[in-house]
Structure 1
């Protein structure tokens, strides 16, 4: 079951408190194992592999970047395929995602969004997944997540960082949000994509620059066409993603009034009680129901959530990359070697 991140993960190290301190021994063990796994050599796929990952648990913007890369490569005449582990889904794969027949319970929510941009393979075994993608005609494989998984050799690894939260208290799970010590992860990273202004990510930006990784910046922008219909009424906004506050902030920046906001854990699987409570409050307060594309995808195909899915609207967001031409040239130079 998905749980919320502890608040102390995202506070400065000197204010992380007793819980983080007491968890330090477990974090040391977890970090050592994760770092050792990252040092293992990976299998070559037979086609360029781009990994879009992040240093921490939770959301940072990997999926929008993976979609941006897939569309950019398609524009160059390449045939990209997206590779996902399919977190939250029951299928181990390799299986090609078919949004017409698969639900989030089958393949997870993120692959349903990825499949809109390019062929998407779900596979718990990333080597087998890459092989399936190439057998299906892919000229480049884009991994959504997998920075800490060394099974598949990568030609380009881009770490995505939330510009506001950075890497939190800088400690390894469970004492903090890092999946492995930052010093162990950084040598495997070719570039950093900072989503947002970067004010909270100064330490990791400096670490990336010192390690020789390129630093790029982007921001998540709401789809302009969708905004027109969403401005008319106030909303009850709800989200079960890695950082719901980022979604709520996006609404505010877009001028959408959301006096009621409900945050759920990442990858939250909504139930009948959730649906009934959200609909009842929206009706009581005369509010529209507004959520993310991932949350809406997670509801699809569940009869218990049919009413909520029909009532809720999603605000699509897209990644806007600063200095996009420079970033595009960097990516292409890496995978054409």
Structure 2
């Protein structure tokens, strides 16, 4: 049985009416957002600079949009361009979020957070988790990084950022355009317009936006063995496991490859136990890479991780690299 997922209210995306009490709460939230923004604009709350350029990858909506795959791609591209990038993250879901720490490929997800551990394993870059992203950026600079990438943190205004990359779900976009809890927005849409780059994950990119596709070709066994071509699962039924911000994206990706999906959606950052994957039949189990880092300690032979890679137009990488090189100068 899948763990309960955090239900997204239907009215966020289907055009139905928002209940009156929820609209009232949304107005209170909107007032708090305006107050906080005003305090920063007036200088009563201060932004602090890190010693090196900071790139924030984030979104103004609740839920997953593909920030982590883009962060991994940024690390790889900037490294290829001669930079030494590091990654700052809060490490949401780890056991002690109040304690800063370095995350390495061998760090347990419960200690470092699932996404930071995944980034460390995929890139080998220095990864620092800290609720205070300014402190994380300073630690990365002291460790030799010459550019810091924040995985999430668009609303963490205390840290001055030199570039902001908004990641948009190309299918759901901004939903009904309303602020929490009446809609999926953490901040008004006008806030997103101030970002330097707008990356659209799936769907149709509009003028001024950069399209991103998440590509996958292999299924990697959780218990040793060689990766398999994902096309081998076409025409077969599998259990599909996703504990991410928007599980249907993973299920639809597999269906698009001709795979028969038995979906199992878990809450984002779910802490898995072996019994969570006891589905009553020994069909292959395909899961996101983010889930796999937490399931590896009790994995079985028929369970596979499905890594994804972010693909964007080469013009995007040229424009981004030029901006970062200008900041370094």
Shorter-chain TM range is 0.7 to 0.9
In structure 1, the residue matched to 2:223 is none
Tell me the distance in 2 between the aligned counterparts of 1:53 and 1:236.
30
| 1:188-217 residue CA offsets vs partner (Å, 9 max, x unmatched) | 411110011227xxxxx5xxx6xxxx4211
CA contact (8 A) 1:50 1:155 kept: yes
Secondary structure at the aligned position of 2:70 is classed as helix
In structure 1, the residue matched to 2:224 is none
In structure 2, the residue matched to 1:268 is 270
**Which ranges of structure 2 fall in alignment gaps of 5 or more residues?**
41-45, 220-226
| 1:212-248 residue CA offsets vs partner (Å, 9 max, x unmatched) | xx42111111135756156244311121111111001
**Which ranges of structure 1 fall in alignment gaps of 5 or more residues?**
200-204
Tell me the distance in 2 between the aligned counterparts of 1:218 and 1:246.
14
Residues 142, 35 of structure 1: alpha-carbon distance in 2 compared, 3 angstrom cutoff: farther
Tell me the distance in 2 between the aligned counterparts of 1:2 and 1:136.
38
In structure 1, the residue matched to 2:31 is 32
In structure 1, the residue matched to 2:105 is 99
In structure 1, the residue matched to 2:290 is 294
In structure 1, the residue matched to 2:175 is 168
Report the RMSD for the aligned CA atoms in angstroms: 2.1
CA contact (8 A) 2:55 2:164 kept: yes
2:153 to 139, 146, 150: 146
CA contact (8 A) 2:231 2:257 kept: no
Tell me the distance in 1 between the aligned counterparts of 2:306 and 2:47.
38
In structure 2, the residue matched to 1:202 is none
Count residues with an aligned counterpart: 305
In structure 2, the residue matched to 1:222 is 216
Report whether the alignment pairs 1:68 with 2:73.
yes
1:191 to 175, 197, 201: 197
Comparing both structures, which one devotes a greater share of its residues to helix? 1
Tell me the distance in 1 between the aligned counterparts of 2:293 and 2:217.
17
Residues 195, 229 of structure 1: alpha-carbon distance in 2 compared, 3 angstrom cutoff: closer
Task: Give the alignment's TM-score, normalised by structure 2.
Answer: 0.86
Secondary structure at the aligned position of 1:3 is classed as coil
CA contact (8 A) 2:5 2:265 kept: no
Report whether the alignment pairs 1:231 with 2:232.
yes
1:140 Cα shift?
Answer: 0.3
Task: Give the alignment's TM-score, normalised by structure 1.
Answer: 0.84
1:331 Cα shift?
Answer: 1.3
| 1:76-112 residue CA offsets vs partner (Å, 9 max, x unmatched) | 1100001110000124343210231x22211211001
Secondary structure at the aligned position of 2:174 is classed as coil
5 Å-filtered alignment, 1:320-335, equals: 320-321=311-312, 323-324=313-314, 326-335=315-324
In structure 2, the residue matched to 1:88 is 93
1:273 Cα shift?
Answer: 4.1
